[in-house]
Structure 1
Amino acid sequence: MGSYASRARGANIVLAHAFEADYGVSPGSGYRLVSVSSQDLGDEQGRVKSDLLGRGRKPQPSSLDVINNRGSLVVPVDQRLIGVWLKQLLGAPTTTQGVAATGQIAFAANPAANDTITVGGQAFTFKSSAPTANQILIESNLAKTLRNAVRVLNTSAVAGVAAARYALNTDLNAIVVTHKTVGTAGNSFALAASVATPSGSTLSGGSTSGPYNHVFKAGSQSLPSASVEVGNTDVGQYRMNYGIMIDSLSIPLARSGNLSATLAYIAQGEKAATGSTGAGTPAVLAIDRFSQFAGVIDIFGAPIGNVVSGQVVVNNGLDVAENIRRDGRIDGADPGELTLEPQFTARFGDQYLLDLATNDTPVTLSFGWAQGAASLTFRYSQVRLPKPKFPVSGPGSIQASFTAMGETDAANEALEVILVNDVANYD
């Protein structure tokens, strides 16, 4: 009985990625090994049915149509390799090594009227009703009061206050303060309180050593292209795809399961298969996937309560140059209108989200994950929430779904993605 031929298996597929210096020109070096959950890279070319008349009912020869190479990649949202895809989606990051100074103001009970906290030299006073500038409304419980506090702090126009970001801790009983500048600059940022307990008189821990902070910002006028070689090692076949641009990214949030990103891509083409790799020996980065359960969605730095699902959505709106060419391929894909439509579904609890939507209040919306010293945060600078319905289809909980509309804020920012890890650069 003869032996069977080898068959290609998905478990043994090898993908090597490198950024291109010139669109559609595969580099000879600089490849990284990338991991995917699924991919459909490769050319496809359809055929055009004959439209000739007078030759009877039998089918006439068809013609070749244009070549397309577009589809989707599903990749892990991990500590290191996600930076490769973020660079393709948004452009090169600004990278700074170090740690930002942090601190907190902890509360043992709900503040009373005229209690104060002071951050960055500015005092804020808690009020039972009708708060004005530099005042914070006291609610029925501490968590809701501090939700108001971080909103007031994060939207303050006072320069000293705006030098930091403010969030609620997991227990919803402390305001966490993080200086916006990585390094030692924040170590002199002052904290004080009349009744609550600051972690110190100033923030601390700011350092110029430690992890790398990669900040990607949406809106770049040009985006990098890449080549990705797909290696079917079982059969010794390697196919180089080139001129790959990332059109969109979506990351669904759930209570459990693997955290993955779906990337829609548009490529110029695929080279003929060869029996040896053209990627040399790719660099290998360890895979440490962020966990779904560690995700959080917040508005103005306060976690949204009762969230059951969510989704990061970024769309570059690539404008494909489908020019007439002898080889039937595209000329390129240019960044089009950026669309930011993050989504989440929450169980109906209090009026907070509904009031933000009804009052057409612009909000800062963030999605984030953390694992040890590594973290990933998508911060939409300004979004507006639609007023939702609250459909009831049974005796269970009542839920509302929000698809926010992102826009540019007063500082001309729309979205920034902060990836903190141990990778020095994404050249």
Structure 2
Amino acid sequence: MTRAKGYHSQLALGYEAAYGTTPADVKGYNMPFNQSKIGIKQNLIESSTIRGRRDKEQPAIGNIDVSGSITLPVDQIGIGYWLAAMFGSPATTGSGDPYTHVFKVTDGQPSLVLEQQYPDIATYETFNGCKINKFSFTYGGDTELTAQMELLGAQRTVNTTPFTANLTEVPLVKYNNFQGSLEEGGAPLAIVTEANLQVDFGLDGNSYAIGSGGCRTALPEGTLQVSGNIKAFFEDAVLLNKAINNTKTSLNFKFTNGTHSLGFFMEEVVLQQTSPGIEDEKGIIINLPFKAFYSSGAGGSILVATLVNSYAIS
């Protein structure tokens, strides 16, 4: 008996013109991924109806919750399509290698059609009205460099054919932890052992309405929040004093491979006060949580993501 196999499965992405609807002429992309756990939940609601016997009546069904997570490699090309899903189309310069794509916060986010494809058994799980609600990654150490996304969506259908017959293959060119760097206040910070970034897009997932068939009618955007943590060797009190004095600084998380790079620049950041503590006889590490904000930064965005690669995102 044929069974669906993980290595033969695919994750397809397309952009919707109207929320919750697959366009007739949608362009689909075969995205690199490590795990895709998009799913559907629909509660069965216990019946309290009394009919003169002990047996329970048939339960009612609740609203549909399409949600889940995707783990993806931090790479040079595929990440551009996910950034476009978070921030909209980038401002792109260059007519060939290298292209420079700049993403900034806008008032809206595109909605996506995402499909978990199981070609072994000709089954295609299509999710419409998807938006990225959270994005995060951690770098440093000696592990595979990945990012995590949490998504919300409107509805799921299960089909015997894919939402588009021809998928554009997205090349995979990964970044590695050793290609990462961190700048603080415009200068390289060489004492950091680990750093993480968390972006919360603040989507309103409680947009159910009468007559919508139990599906989310929209995913309105809320205030975008950017935070994270820096883990560093405790060599001096420079960063600690900036936290103590609530001194505004900047942070730039960056990955570089030759002429290509991926950067997440936060122009206005404050560090949170902490204490390093003394755990044992070894070197002391200090954790410095941070929050980014936008007040008067020249970039005009709480976060500016810049992707320099060999690929025209279309």
TM-score (norm 1): 0.70
Match for residue 208 of structure 2? 322
| Structure 2 Cα separation of the partners of residues 417 and 312 of structure 1 | 12
Instruction: Give deviations 1:44-99, integer Å, cap 9, x for gaps.
Output: 2221122335756554432111111011111111100100110111221100017x
1:391, CA displacement in angstroms?
2.2
1:210, CA displacement in angstroms?
3.7
Contact kept, 8 Å, 1:89 with 1:248, in 2: the verdict is: no
Q: Is 1:10 aligned to 2:6, yes or no?
A: yes
Match for residue 99 of structure 2? 212
Contact kept, 8 Å, 2:47 with 2:57, in 1: the verdict is: yes
1:423, CA displacement in angstroms?
1.4
Instruction: Give deviations 1:8-62, integer Å, cap 9, x for gaps.
Output: 1111111211111111111233111102111122322221122335756554432
Instruction: Give deviations 1:168-206, integer Å, cap 9, x for gaps.
Output: xxxxxxxxxxxxxxxxxxxxxxxxxxxxxxxxxxxxxxx
Match for residue 308 of structure 2? 420
Contact kept, 8 Å, 2:16 with 2:26, in 1: the verdict is: no
Q: What is the DSSP-based 3-state SS (H/G/I as helix, E as strand, rest coil) of the residue aligned with 1:42? A: strand
Q: Is 1:354 aligned to 2:240, yes or no?
A: yes
Contact kept, 8 Å, 2:67 with 2:151, in 1: the verdict is: yes
Structure 1 residue identity aligned to 2:44: R
Q: What is the DSSP-based 3-state SS (H/G/I as helix, E as strand, rest coil) of the residue aligned with 1:332? A: coil
- Aligned with residue 384 of structure 1, among 270, 290, 293: 270
The answer for unaligned runs of 5 or more in structure 2 is none
Instruction: Give deviations 1:229-283, integer Å, cap 9, x for gaps.
Output: 2210111111211111011100111222111110111111112x22222221111
| Structure 1 Cα separation of the partners of residues 88 and 26 of structure 2 | 20
| Structure 2 Cα separation of the partners of residues 400 and 55 of structure 1 | 66
Q: Is 1:277 aligned to 2:162, yes or no?
A: yes
1:286, CA displacement in angstroms?
1.2
Match for residue 71 of structure 2? 74
Contact kept, 8 Å, 2:141 with 2:194, in 1: the verdict is: yes
Structure 2 residue identity aligned to 1:352: V
1:374, CA displacement in angstroms?
1.3
Contact kept, 8 Å, 1:16 with 1:279, in 2: the verdict is: no
| Structure 2 Cα separation of the partners of residues 333 and 93 of structure 1 | 21
Match for residue 258 of structure 2? 372
Match for residue 181 of structure 1? none
Match for residue 21 of structure 1? 17
Match for residue 153 of structure 1? none
| Structure 2 Cα separation of the partners of residues 77 and 424 of structure 1 | 18
1:301, CA displacement in angstroms?
2.2
Matched length: 310
Structure 1 residue identity aligned to 2:294: T
Q: Is 1:93 aligned to 2:90, yes or no?
A: yes
Contact kept, 8 Å, 2:246 with 2:270, in 1: the verdict is: yes
Note closer, same or farther for the CA distance 1:30–1:54 as it changes in structure 2 (3 Å cut): closer
- Aligned with residue 143 of structure 2, among 242, 252, 257: 257
| Structure 2 Cα separation of the partners of residues 222 and 289 of structure 1 | 29
| Structure 1 Cα separation of the partners of residues 54 and 224 of structure 2 | 49
Q: What is the DSSP-based 3-state SS (H/G/I as helix, E as strand, rest coil) of the residue aligned with 2:274? A: coil
- Alignment RMSD (CA, Å): 1.7
Match for residue 229 of structure 1? 115
Structure 1 residue identity aligned to 2:69: S
Match for residue 194 of structure 2? 309
Note closer, same or farther for the CA distance 1:257–1:55 as it changes in structure 2 (3 Å cut): farther
Q: Is 1:291 aligned to 2:291, yes or no?
A: no
Structure 1 residue identity aligned to 2:77: R
Match for residue 36 of structure 2? 39
Note closer, same or farther for the CA distance 1:301–1:49 as it changes in structure 2 (3 Å cut): same
| Structure 2 Cα separation of the partners of residues 323 and 353 of structure 1 | 49
TM-score (norm 2): 0.94
Contact kept, 8 Å, 1:78 with 1:288, in 2: the verdict is: yes
Match for residue 129 of structure 1? none
Structure 1 residue identity aligned to 2:59: S
Structure 1 residue identity aligned to 2:9: I
Sequence identity percentage: 26
| Structure 2 Cα separation of the partners of residues 356 and 262 of structure 1 | 30
Contact kept, 8 Å, 1:247 with 1:315, in 2: the verdict is: yes
- Aligned with residue 333 of structure 1, among 191, 198, 219: 219
